[in-house]
């Protein structure tokens, strides 16, 4: 049904505008945007605060949400963290994954996220036996997103090796289809829906042998689908790739036709100057996940150099140490300040673009991320009167939201014109904390 929203303040990139009327058509797209409307007209739904396009979480592993706090105990590295992750992965079934993902995606909605790129590699039953429906786990994620009221791009992931051709270990047999051809056959059966699109992913150069990379790249190219890959997240991966192939992971991906404007490298942390130039020249995107990268002590990636070279930036919450895209945007700038000891590498508007329009483009929703006619009517409203945001000048609302607000300040979320979060409460999942608690408890005691 048609609906009209009155936005007290709105980000019409690059400006903050007071009194904006957004008319939504039957198809869930914006039909008209009218500025200078001082008061809400009769029948309009009022969104008080600062409304931005819905946020795009371009990199998620939904089941990692069950690791929060558990993996913050003690010391270690990415590799020791991974062992804990495997334990949680081993306990998931399609039903328990659906329950967990539904709660996680509802948490995302409460944080202003209207679309998620789910980097999905947990395909099969323990031991690697396919379910009766070989895509049961992916279907569980697609259904979970629908029930939580957000959009999803299922980035179905090829994961074939424990490292540079070695067979999957006992934890990874659930992830593997055996060959890239078998992966392609399975994920070709996945169907897109109004709220769901299907993309592809290469887990990493260590998990997909070089001879198999082209099969995944061609599958994505034929469908003009997004293609994501964990890239140079760890120095150990770079060193092993040099030993195996005599080149960096980025160069290897280039040699096998993986790079390009529909491809996004996730993390892109430990790159050479040649790697940065390759990614920029091919228009390959970069998804930064600062809260995960710092949680795992991975390092600070060269985001600024990548963007200057021509690599569009997006943001993800990855391991869900926190789910807060405003914090991801803020962290990208603040990490760069710590690295360089200078300030102001990105404007608030540039960081919002990474979290909205460029994030949506990275996961194949090019028609989202803007408040303009023809765009999907996906909106997120952040309070300007919370203890964190009050006192700011409205014309600096973008700076306030990026550098002071948190997910807790999100008041309203609209997806396709439907009010999914109203006054901070989820309209479809009545008790998100209880849903999270029960889903996580079932995995810990399973």
How many beta carbons lie within 10 A of that of residue 355, not counting itself? 30
Give the closest residue to 365 by CA, choosing from 307, 290, 415.
415
* Two structure tokens written together for 440: 């996580």
Question: Would you call 318 a catalytic residue per the annotation?
Answer: yes
User: From its phi and psi, is residue 301 left (phi > 0), alpha (psi between -120 and 50) or beta?
Assistant: beta
Helix (H, G, I), strand (E, B) or coil at 245: helix
DSSP state string for 170-202 = TTGGGT--SSHHHHHHHHTT---BTTEEEEEEE
Alpha helix (H) ranges present in 62-193?
78-89, 94-110, 136-148, 180-187
Identify the DSSP state of 416. Answer: T
Give the closest residue to 413 by CA, choosing from 144, 25, 148, 40.
148
Of 275, 295, 318, 378, the catalytic one is: 318
* C-beta separation of 138 from 101 below 8 A: no
Alpha helix (H) ranges present in 125-266?
136-148, 180-187, 210-223, 235-245, 249-255
Give the closest residue to 175 by CA, choosing from 220, 218, 230.
230
Of 9, 59, 64, 267, the catalytic one is: 267
Question: Would you call 9 a catalytic residue per the annotation?
Answer: no
How many beta carbons lie within 10 A of that of residue 435, not counting itself? 20
* C-beta separation of 402 from 348 below 8 A: yes
DSSP state string for 324-366 = -HHHHHHHHHHHHHHHHS---SS-HHHHHHHHTHHHHHHTT-T
Residue count of the chain, please give it: 446
Q: Can you tell me the distance from the alpha carbon of 158 to that of 175, in angstroms, rounded to the nearest whole number? A: 8
Q: Is the peptide bond before 14 cis (omega within 30 degrees of 0)?
A: yes
Name the residues annotated as catalytic. 267, 318
């Amino acid at each position: 049904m048609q609906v009209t929203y009155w936005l007290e303040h709105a980000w019409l990139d690059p400006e903050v505008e007071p009194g904006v009327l957004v008319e939504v058509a039957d198809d869930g797209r914006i039909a008209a945007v009218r500025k200078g409307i001082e008061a809400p007209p009769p029948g309009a739904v009022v969104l008080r605060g600062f409304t931005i396009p819905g946020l795009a979480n371009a990199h998620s592993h939904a089941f990692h949400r069950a690791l929060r706090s558990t993996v913050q105990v003690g010391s270690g590295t990415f590799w020791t963290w991974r062992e804990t992750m495997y334990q949680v992965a081993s306990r998931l079934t399609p039903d328990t994954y659906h329950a967990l993902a539904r709660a996680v995606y509802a948490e995302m909605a409460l944080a202003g996220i209207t679309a998620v790129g789910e980097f999905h590699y947990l395909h099969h039953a323990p031991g690697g036996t396919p379910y009766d429906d070989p895509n049961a786990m992916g279907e569980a994620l697609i259904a979970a997103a629908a029930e939580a009221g957000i959009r999803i791009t299922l980035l179905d992931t090829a994961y074939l090796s424990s490292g540079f051709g070695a067979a999957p270990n006992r934890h990874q047999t659930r992830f593997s289809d055996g060959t890239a051809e078998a992966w392609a056959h399975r994920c070709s059966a996945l169907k897109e829906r109004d709220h769901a699109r299907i993309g592809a992913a290469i887990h990493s150069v260590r998990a997909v042998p070089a001879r198999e990379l082209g099969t995944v790249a061609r599958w994505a190219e034929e469908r003009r689908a997004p293609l994501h890959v964990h890239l140079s997240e760890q120095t150990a991966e770079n060193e092993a790739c040099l030993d195996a192939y005599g080149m960096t992971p980025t160069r290897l991906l280039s040699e096998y036709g993986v790079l390009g404007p529909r491809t996004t490298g996730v993390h892109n942390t430990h790159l050479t100057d040649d790697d940065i130039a390759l990614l920029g020249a091919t228009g390959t995107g970069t998804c930064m996940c600062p809260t995960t990268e710092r949680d795992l002590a991975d390092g600070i990636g060269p985001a600024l150099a990548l963007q200057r070279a021509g690599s569009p930036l997006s943001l993800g919450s990855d391991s869900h140490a926190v789910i807060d895209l405003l914090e991801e945007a803020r962290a990208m700038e603040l990490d760069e300040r710590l690295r360089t000891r200078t300030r102001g590498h990105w404007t608030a508007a540039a960081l919002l673009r990474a979290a909205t329009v460029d994030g949506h483009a990275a996961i194949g929703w090019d028609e989202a991320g803007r408040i303009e006619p023809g765009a999907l009517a996906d909106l997120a409203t952040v309070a300007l009167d919370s203890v964190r945001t009050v006192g700011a000048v409205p014309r600096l609302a973008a700076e306030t939201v990026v550098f002071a607000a948190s997910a807790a300040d999100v008041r309203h979320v609209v997806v396709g014109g439907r009010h999914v979060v109203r006054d901070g409460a989820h309209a479809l999942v009545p008790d998100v904390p209880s849903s999270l608690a029960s889903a996580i408890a079932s995995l810990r005691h399973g």
